[in-house]
Amino acid sequence: MSTFEVTPHTDDSGTTYLKVSGALDLAAAPQLIQEVKESQVLRLDLSEVDFMDSTGLGALITVRNGAREKNEELELLAISRAVERVLELSGLTDVFGTSHE
């Protein structure tokens, strides 16, 4: 498993998103919450997350709920198979409205 990283990117339309890579686990989940809080970016590309656990899922829920409190939405641009599997197991796939990559 690779090192956990959150890096800002800008797509062709000039919109910023955060690309998340590595293991989104209990050691990394607080970092994701902090990075989103500091950047105020609510578009995440999770296509390079090679492992996710319940604390990673909890971080996504925290970010989503925080966004909703401000009448905004968390958008998952792409998810990896590892993320997809955890969403399936938890029954939360529809909550996040994801696209698999």
Partner 1 sequence: MNESWPSRTVELTVPAHEDFVAAVRAQTRSMAVLTSLGVDDVEELQMAIGEAATLLLPVVDLATPFFRVEFDLVADGMRIRLRARVRPGAAIDREGLAWMLLTALDPHVAVTGTDETCIEISRARSNSRL
Per the rule left: phi > 0, alpha: psi between -120 and 50, beta: everything else, 92 is alpha
Nearer to partner 1, 41 or 62 (CB): 62
Rounded to the nearest whole angstrom, what is the least distance from the CB of residue 42 to partner 1 in the complex? 21
**Cα–Cα distance measured from residue 27 to residue 46, given in angstroms and rounded to the nearest whole number:** 17
Phi, psi (degrees; rounded to nearest 5) at 42 = -115, 15
Rounded to the nearest whole angstrom, what is the least distance from the CB of residue 41 to partner 1 in the complex? 24
> For binding to partner 1 (CB under 8 A), which residues are involved?
1, 23, 25-27, 51, 53-55, 57-58, 82, 85-86, 89-90
Nearer to partner 1, 31 or 43 (CB): 31
